[in-house]
A and B are shown apart, each in its own frame.
Chain A
Amino acid sequence: MNRGRIFPWVQFAAKFWVPWLAIFLLMVPVLQLSAKGHSLKGDTRAGSTEQAVTENQITPVAESAWPGEVTYDSQQPARRTIRGKITDQQGAPLPGVTITILGTTRGVITDNDGSYSIDVASTDRLVYSFIGLESQIVDVGNQTTINVTMKEKTEELEDVTVVAFAKQKKESVLASIETVKPEELRVPSSNLTTALAGRMSGIISYQRSGEPGQDNAEFFIRGVTTFGYKKDPLILIDGIELSSAELSRLHPDDIAAFSIMKDATATALYGARGANGVILVTTKEGREGKAKVNIRWESSMSQPTKNIELADPITYMKLHNEAVRTRDPLGELPYSPTKVDNTIAGTNPYVYPATDWQNLLLKDYTMNHRLNFNISGGGTVARYYISGGITQDNGILEVPKENDFNNNIDLKKYVIRSNVNINLTKTTEVILRVHGNFDDYRGPIRGGTETYQMIMRSNPVLFPAYYAPDEANKYVQHILFGNFGNGNYINPYAEMVKGYKESSTSMMLAQFELKQDLKFITEGLHFRLLGNTTRDSYFDVQRSYAPFFYYVNSYNNRTDEYKLRLLNSDSGREYLDYLEGQKEVASTFYAESALDYDRTFGEDHTVSGLLVGIMRQYLKGNAGDLQRSLPSRNLGLSGRFTYAYQTKYFVEFNFGYNGTERFSANERFGFFPSAGVGWYVSKEKFWEPLLPTFSKLKLKATYGLVGNDAIGSDSDRFFYLSNVNLNDGNRGFKWGADGGYSRNGVSISRYANDKITWETATKTNLGVEVGLFDKIDIEADFFTEYRTNILMDRLSFSTFGLQAATKANVGEASSRGIDASIDVQHNFNKDLWLTARGNFTYAKGIYEKVEEPDYSATPWKSRVGQPITQQWGYIAERLFVDDKEVANSPRQELGSIVMGGDLKYRDINNDDRISSLDQVPIGFPTTPEIIYGFGASMGYKSVDLSLFFQGSARSSFWIDASATSPFVDNDNNYLANNALLKAYADSHWSEANRDIYALWPRLSYKWENNNLVRNTWYMQDGTFLRLKSVELGYSLPKNLYQRFGIEYMRLYGSGTNLLTFSRFKLWDPEMGGNGLGYPVQRVLNIGLQISF
């Protein structure tokens, strides 16, 4: 579209008129209110009389918010007596149910065993009502016994959809919103984000690590359509923006609705924040009725989905020797033949160690526990929902016996939540929500992932974990840790044992919401106000001693005695020291007020309107520098106007008008409109013949703009200001004979640009909803998106002499795709039921315009038209046969000397050398383009079974050649030797076996850049399909526990990540190239669910 001409006008209009319009709309009710004067006095009670049972009521009776009293009169002349028993859905008798005759005030109440009797005439109709349960009306007729099973009130959410700032009737929703049942998200994990992949259409998700606390999955709505820094969706929990960490802690049992908003109509109200989609979660509220308690306990066994196989220590030594000599014939052998021979012979395990660090430090599995409960209930005035949960996640680190501390990862998470709704008047409702998340972590100082990595970087033969004391060290108190050289090699055992870290994370959220029905002004008008504050804090503390490291100085092989040498007498320390770690505090304030209007005129015309104002501030206590310390703020006004005719034709207009502190005054506000139309085809007359087969057909289309203000980076916000450090030690200079006269210098980390503004997405969505036989629901959306104004670094020129890249809104990207879901529900008979569900998301985002050099001569280098997470690399043809072939091939000067057995790359541009110009797009993007899931649940009597498969396709990943290069030092803190993967030991090029298609090239003891640059040799297909979860449940027979007051009890076993189908075998494919990180976990779980 021609944004250049239209957009400024729209912005102008928006800037000047929208606020005034808002003010005007708000003034009307105020004026009306004043005019009405005292009319509201005393109305509080008046409402109750309207609750008397009247002829107008239809079945089922609408919920009464303020019920009246019922007179119980037994003096009426007896005509006929009806008897019966009232039970609930579980078959338990219900005392206290009110039975009245419709149209009268006469009635009775059931006694303790739920039975009643009432005198009626045969034309009477009986109304059965009970707090919290659906009222029922029964025609008496000729019956003498009427037994009634009272049902729980069906949740409103079944026929309404949560949309931005409001709820809409499902049939009238035009936006692309996917809602998932909270039960679908229940996996035996304390991390909700791991359950998202494949559960609902429109989400692209993957999980790279399995470490407790660090195992959040990454997720994107409809893939990635930007190359700015914020790619992931806005997450709103009860309307409040929270991080994915908070989302991960939510318990499915507490969720009332979980929706993702995908297109412009769904997200436009979020204006500058919604471009990447929105995840909206609503937590449960209490409902009228007696206190209901749900308890869920789970215990699970967790183990890596796949363990990394390493070569044995002897092979390690031999190949390490080979690695040195094959690169440098003069090189010194790391292990003497004596050492190799003695290690093979197993002479003395301390002198000739062969340590299996994995085995020593990792457990086969670990146990985790979770306990959750919630209590809800309430009366007509106040309702409550409170819940709490404790989870304990343990790591897979082995705790050695010699250890002073238990250093396995122990992560405890506590969650409390309290949602209280109070009806202040019959039109005023106040909701108070308090929610807290608290984490306590205790574990190794460098965390699980790093500990795991250290294990993968430890030399198995240089030294043992620790020594048995020799003669001289008999009385030494400390552990005699093994080490080498100066004692600065990695000894992961010592690292793990030497101390521990404790950290605490707290998040407190308090929210106040007020809802006012303004029907006294005009029918259908409501006002809502919400205020929220969130406080985050984190701290950690470390306690550790400094290990004493020893090495075998001399060994007498006749007496089998060794003498140890202390390597670090000065740096070792027996007693604990303490280190204060990070401390982070932050606060968020959010306020929202909304005025909405919803009314149906006559039969045919439904109109609704919504105006919302929001303000938000985020302030960090320890941001690090002045500019970062300034608050982040947003301000917005949004609106929605809908019109429906005969619930067949729908139109909708939305807008968001948002401001952010990041941009200069001229660019600060942005206007994001969107519109949609819909047609409920199957409600047309002409469709009636088709209804038995095509029970539903709805078509919808939306188009609009959404923005993204999170550009640049979190710490780089004020683009219109330069960032100058006038006291930079790194830019200073020292003069004087002893350098005694020094001055700090000046550095610039950002150059001002006051033109920088929003990233804007133009989204189009075409959707269709189809129902078949009333059993199968299909929803499919086709979408396109065009993203403009993506912030990018300008092309850099060293001769320009700038200290920081300059940025501009020059990037453009587009995406298109499909997301679809299918739901099948079928009850074969009253005992056997089946539901099946499948969904599919395909999203492909590509670069449309990027700041890049002129690649017209080498078009394959250009990013334009390529997927956004596309990788460029060299095409590795095979390994070089020998040095001669290297000499006769195009020169490969990639930072290391190339020899036979190194990777041979294709010279794409035929300039007889391999340079960055020979890098071409290789493989699929790293973010999967397809995510899908399918599964089924079935039940037979009291047994239920569900299976769920999840898959991912069209992605590539690369084995991290640097991290897996055997023998090299890949650690920043210590000297280290990378472990040798068994796969590499089995298949590598060697002078003896010149396998030019071996998995690993010629060995080396150092980095060989030639073999480390991104290339096709290490490229892997990221496609996988996994049996994501299985659950088998059994509802225990009621007679076992009914007498203890328990209503329902279910025992179940479940598992996640049980089977994985992939072509890649070295590690779990979902971890991508990061295979030597903390592995993704397979979990087997048993759980018990009790309600009373």
Chain B
Amino acid sequence: MMKSILKILITIFLAGTIAACDYLDVVPDNVAVIENAFSDKYNAEKFLATCYSYIPNFGDPWINPGLLSGDEVWFNEEIMDDSNTAAMIAKGEQNSLDPFLNFWDGGQRGKNMYVGIRDCNIFLEEIKRVGDMSEIEKKKWIAEVKFMKAYYHFWLFKSYGPIPIVDENLPIYVSTEEVKIYRDPVDSVVNYIVKLIDEAIPDLPLMLLSEVTDLGRITKPIATAIKARVLATAASPLFNGNPDFASLTDNRGVKLFPATFDATKWQKAADAALEAIETAEMANFRLVDSYQTKYKHSEAMMRELMLRSIVTTKGNTEVIWGCTNFPFSHTYQRMLQPLLITVTDANPVSQFYAATLRMAELYYSKNGVPIEEDVSFPYEDRYTLRTAVTAESDYVRSGETTAMLHFDRESRFYASIAFDRGTFVLEPTYYYVQCRAGEMATKRNKGEFSVTGYWPKKLLSPRNGFSGNSYEIDYNFPFPIIRLADIYLLYAEALNEVKAAPDAEVYEYIDKVRERAGLQGVVESWAAHSKNPQKPATKEGMRKIIQQERMIELSFEGQRFWDLRRWKLALDYMNRPIRGWDISGRNLNFYNVTTVYTPRFEFKDYFWPIRERERINNPNLVQNLGW
């Protein structure tokens, strides 16, 4: 017996020793590897989605610096805590230790754009493996990915200025020294981005086959429009011969900013804008100029509703590129909506997305000129009060009292800003806003109130509505990234810079935008109503006019933040106090202008700081000035 036991045991022992090699090989075949991503078209499309996925969430004010990091909107302190990284930038608390909205390293709510660029490069290297796709389709996808790669470079460029270009991927196990790359000078970066877009354009479709499935896919109008924006940015004062940043030099001695102003850059921008306009119009894009409804409204109200529908309505003709991956959903729309009905329970709207007093003052008077220039507008008395008459009830509830500032303004003011006692149409109901202390649209729960007494109305479709205790929205609209009016104004801006003095060509496209808003042309308006009637005749005067027009037309769409920077005006604007009405004031005590916050903006804030850790790992990356 013992003998047989022993034999068995020894056999087991030996078997264990001999079977050693196989025993440890526990990994079965067919474990997923990156090559599987390009095995067929279905999987390659997932990788295409991956390449798209680094597009920032434009509609998220916590992530899009254009929305909350500037001076257009302000959240109350109860919402603006540290996790609100975009707001931290607005306040002037940006830092280099762990920068807010860090799209370079992917931190503090920023996506990592260099990971996105690497994915684009992987796609471009590997797409040829896919068998079940036609060459034409491959070319189209390649063009889309090239555009995304260009766009991610552009996003970094406008945030950081000169950036390292990553045209090809480094192998994964490469020596540390080879990874320590340098920032490329501004002009090289711009040329690279434009080159990529130019490579992409021929293979991109002019129009989509179906908006239902393809909206958001890159087309020729999108590529040309972004190219125009890239070139206009490069031609703008921040990048074009900016003496403040001319000294930025890396450790090889390479100057990263062009030292001198180059006027041809504006010419390139103008050409690109014209190309973009023509391409967009060929694809049937046009300014929205009407609003479809079955309800009867006055002409003035129809214009307001039309203006409110430009970005909020499905199938509109003006938005060239919107962020389909991250629509402006109910979550966000309820932040902009003042409470207009009596509710018995929890608050259906959170209403803390407040517009600043500065924005309320920005829009033109009804005569189409700035309120401080309008000879007929009581600018000095704008904070005094008067009572609305019946004829004004499209705008202000008749018989109610509000500030003079809220009367006699252009349609875009009423379409864009909700104010105390202002009419607020959610079709077919005409509500009015009541937001003096203790009234309906004031704080009910922590953080759920406007800190200024204003709301951006523009991003709320007239078709939204309250029902019982809830608030429902018409459409989760893709947040606009670029639209036709934007390129019109870019074209006007570039032409104005190119020409010695503005002429009809310069006025043409800005006037198209004004006409849609129900205003006369620049020349006529200024001649008839401005204290400074010759303003449109000079290059400098026209520059100011175009800038204000852009800030009005594109308000609350995330453009002003970047515009103020490229115009080098942020230092001026972003150090002014953020103001609003006194929301703790009852009744008419509400109408005291109150400072909400005084942000800080220094010269260094024109650009993001490179995160310190990245610079310590790679000392070849010179830090932006001031950080």
Q: Which of B13, B23, B181, B619 contacts A633 (CB 8 A)?
A: B23
B404-430 interface bits toward A, Cβ cutoff 8 Å, 1 = contact, 0 = none: 000000000000000000000000000
Instruction: Please report which residues of chain A, range 1-55, place their CB below 8 angstroms from some CB of chain B when the two chains form the complex.
Output: 19, 22-23, 26, 29-30, 33, 40
Q: Among the listed stretches B208-216, B290-298, B568-576, which one makes contact with chain A, having 4 or more residues with CB under 8 Å of it? A: B208-216
Q: State whether B616 touches A916 (Cβ < 8 A).
A: yes
Tell me, yes or no, whether B393 is within 8 Å of chain A by CB: no
CB distance from B348 to the nearest CB of A (A): 11
B376 within 8 A of A: no
Q: How large is the interface on A (under 10, 10 to 19, 20 to 34, 35 or more residues)?
A: 35 or more
Question: Which of A63-71, A122-130, A171-179, A740-748 makes up part of the contact surface?
Answer: A740-748
Segment 158-186 of B: residues with Cβ below 8 Å from A? 164, 166, 169-170, 172-173, 176, 179-181
Q: What 1/0 mask marks residues of chain B from 113 to 130 whose CB sits below 8 Å from any chain A CB? A: 011111101000000000
Decide yes or no: A802 and B115 within 8 Å by CB, A568-B346, A795-B176, A915-B612 being known contacts. Answer: yes
Using an 8 Å CB-CB cutoff, how does the interface string of B16-51 with A read, 1 for contact, 0 for none?
111011011111100111101100000101111110
Query: Does B249 sit within 8 A of A, measured CB to CB?
Result: no
Residues of chain B in range 322-349 having any CB-CB distance to chain A below 8 Å: 324-325, 327, 345-347
Binary interface encoding of chain B residues 566-605 relative to chain A, with 1 for a CB under 8 A from any of its CBs, else 0: 0000000000000000001000000000111100000000
Q: How far, in angstroms, from A742 to B49 measured CA to CA in the complex?
A: 8
**Shortest beta-carbon distance from A403 to chain B in Å:** 27
* A328 close to B (CB within 8 Å): yes
Q: Does B463 contact A (CB under 8 A)?
A: no
Contact flags (1/0) for A731-768 with B, using CB distance below 8 Å?
11111111111111111100101000000000000000
**Is B82 at the interface (CB under 8 A from chain A)?**
yes
Q: Which A residues touch B584, using CB under 8 A? A: 332
Confirm or deny: B264 has a beta carbon within 8 angstroms of a beta carbon on chain A: no
Contacting B211 at CB < 8 Å: which of A627, A631, A737, A745? Answer: A737
> How far is it, in angstroms, between the C-alpha of A739 and the C-alpha of B479 when the chains are bound?
12
Q: How far is the CA of A845 from the CA of B2 in the complex (A)?
A: 51
Chain B residues near A630: list those with CB within 8 A. Answer: 26-28
A718 to B33, CA, bound (A): 13
Q: Are A799 and B618 in contact (CB under 8 A)?
A: yes
Contact with B along A563-592 (1 / 0, CB 8 A): 000111110000000000000000000010
State in angstroms the CA–CA spacing of A738 and B326 once bound together.
10
Q: Does A908 have its Cβ within 8 Å of any Cβ on chain B? A: no
Chain B's closest residue to A897 (CB) is B93
A1063 to B180, CA, bound (A): 47
Assess whether A661 is in contact with B25, with CB atoms less than 8 Å apart.
yes
Which residue of chain B lies nearest to A806 when distances are taken between CB atoms in the complex?
Answer: B172
Q: How many Å lie between the Cα of A484 and that of B9 in the bound state?
A: 71
| Chain A hits for B613, CB < 8 A | 916
Tell me whether A114 is interfacial, beta carbon within 8 Å: no
Whether A854 pairs with B9 at a CB distance below 8 angstroms is no
A738 touches B169 (CB 8 A): no
Contacts of B619 in A (CB 8 A): 853-854
Flag whether A1007 is at the interface (Cβ < 8 A): yes
Does B252 make an interface contact (CB < 8 A)?
Answer: no
A736 touches B215 (CB 8 A): yes
Least Cβ distance of A791 to chain B in Å? 15
**Are A735 and B324 CB-contacts (below 8 A) given A570-B345, A800-B179, A1006-B82?**
yes
Flag if B49 contacts A668 (CB, 8 Å). no
A800 touches B9 (CB 8 A): no
Query: In the bound complex, do residue A30 and residue B27 qualify as a contact, i.e. CB atoms below 8 Å apart?
Result: no
Total number of residue pairs linking A and B with CB closer than 8 Å: 273
A615 to B2, CA, bound (A): 24
Residues 138-169 of A, flagged 1 when their CB comes within 8 A of B and 0 if not, give 00000000000000000000000000000000
Give the contacting residue for B16; candidates A593, A734, A741; CB below 8 A.
Answer: A593
Instruction: Return the contact of A975 from the options B211, B214, B446 (Cβ within 8 A).
Output: B446
Which B residues touch A627, using CB under 8 A? 27, 31
Q: Considering the complex, which residues of chain A in the window 795-832 have a beta carbon less than 8 Å from any beta carbon of chain B? A: 795-803, 806
The complex places the Cα of A55 from the Cα of B96 at a distance, in Å, of: 90
Interface check B104, CB cutoff 8 A:
yes
Among A299-307, A532-540, A721-729, the stretch that binds chain B is A721-729
Residues of B within 8 Å of A288, CB to CB, are none
- Name the residue of chain A whose CB is nearest to the CB of B596: A330
B33 contacts A722, CB within 8 Å?
A: yes
Given known A726-B43, A739-B327, contact A894–B95 (CB-CB < 8 A): yes
Q: Residue of A at shortest CB range from B104?
A: A798
Q: Are B37 and A726 closer than 8 Å at their CB atoms? A: yes
Asked if A613 is an interface residue, CB under 8 A from chain B, the answer is yes
| A1058 to B236 CA separation, bound complex (whole angstroms) | 73
**A732 lies within 8 A of B446 (CB):** no
Closest-CB distance, B53 to chain A (whole angstroms): 5
Number of interface residues of B (CB under 8 A): 102
B465 CB within 8 Å of chain A: no
Most interface-central of B24, B55, B82 (chain A CB within 10 A): B24
Docked Cα-Cα span, A331 to B614, in Å, equals 37
Q: Counting CB contacts under 8 A, is B14 at the interface?
A: yes
**B391 → chain A closest CB, angstroms:** 38
CB of A30 within 8 A of CB of B7, answer yes
Contacts of A743 in B (CB 8 A): 45-46, 48-49
Task: List A residues 847-861 near B (Cβ within 8 Å).
Answer: 853-855, 861
List, in ascending order, chain B residues with CB within 8 A of A660's CB: 24
**Nearest Cβ in chain B — how far from A28, in angstroms?**
11
The answer to whether B49 and A737 touch across the interface, beta carbons within 8 angstroms, is no
A425 to B6, CA, bound (A): 14
Q: Is A659 an interface residue (CB 8 A)?
A: yes
**Residues of chain B lying within 8 A (CB to CB) of residue A727:** 46
Interface status of B64 (Cβ within 8 A of chain A): no
In the complex, which residues of chain A have a beta carbon less than 8 angstroms from the beta carbon of B112?
A: 798, 801
- Expressed in whole angstroms, the Cα–Cα distance for A797 and B611 within the complex equals 11
Nearest A residue to B616 by beta-carbon distance? A853
In the bound complex, residues from chain B placing their C-beta under 8 Å from that of A855 are 616
Is A180 close to B, CB under 8 A? no
Q: How far is B31's CA from A722's CA once the two chains are assembled, in angstroms?
A: 9
B14 contacts A969, C-beta separation under 8 Å: no
A917 contacts B by Cβ under 8 Å: yes
User: How far in angstroms is the closest Cβ of chain A from B547?
Assistant: 30
Whether A337 is near chain B, meaning CB under 8 Å from some CB there, is no
- Interchain nearest-CB distance for A34 vs B (Å): 8
Q: A591-B16, A916-B97 are in contact. Are A516 and B49 (CB under 8 A)?
A: no
Task: Across the interface, name the chain A residue whose C-beta is closest to B3.
Answer: A33
- Tell whether, in the assembled complex, residue A19 and residue B50 are in contact, meaning their CB atoms are under 8 Å apart: no
Verify if A637 is at the interface (C-beta below 8 Å from B): yes
Q: Is the CB of B17 within 8 A of A895?
A: no
Q: Contact: A893 with B97, CB < 8 Å?
A: yes
User: Whose C-beta in chain A lies nearest to the C-beta of B81?
Assistant: A1006
B412: min CB distance to chain A, Å: 26
Q: Once bound together, how far apart are the Cα atoms of A40 and B32, in whole Å? A: 58
Give Cα A896–Cα B81 distance, bound, in whole angstroms: 11
Q: Are B9 and A514 in contact (CB-based, < 8 A)?
A: yes
Instruction: Determine if A422 is an interface residue (Cβ-Cβ < 8 Å).
Output: no
Q: Beyond A613-B13, A746-B37, A795-B617, is A739–B325 a contact (Cβ under 8 Å)?
A: yes
B460 nearest CB across to chain A (Å): 18
Which chain A residues lie closer than 8 Å to B43 at the CB level? Answer: 726
Is B105 interfacial (CB 8 A cutoff)? yes
- Contact residues of B between 369 and 405, Cβ < 8 Å to A: none
Chain B CB within 8 A of A485 CB? yes
Q: Can you name the residue of chain A whose Cβ is closest to the Cβ of B20?
A: A635
Do A895 and B93 touch across chains, with their CB atoms under 8 A apart?
A: yes
- The complex places the Cα of A332 from the Cα of B437 at a distance, in Å, of 14
Residues of chain A within 8 A (CB-CB) of B14 are 23, 26
Bound complex: CA A615 to CA B5 (Å): 20
- Besides A721-B33, A726-B43, A800-B114, 12 more A-B contacts (Cβ < 8 Å) are A23-B17, A26-B10, A427-B2, A566-B345, A665-B25, A735-B217, A737-B215, A743-B45, A806-B173, A853-B617, A896-B93, A1007-B81
- Would you give 10 A-B contacts (Cβ < 8 Å), ordered by A? A330-B597, A626-B31, A659-B24, A665-B25, A732-B50, A733-B216, A735-B214, A739-B325, A745-B46, A797-B179
Closest 4 CB pairs of A and B: A801-B118, A745-B50, A743-B49, A733-B49
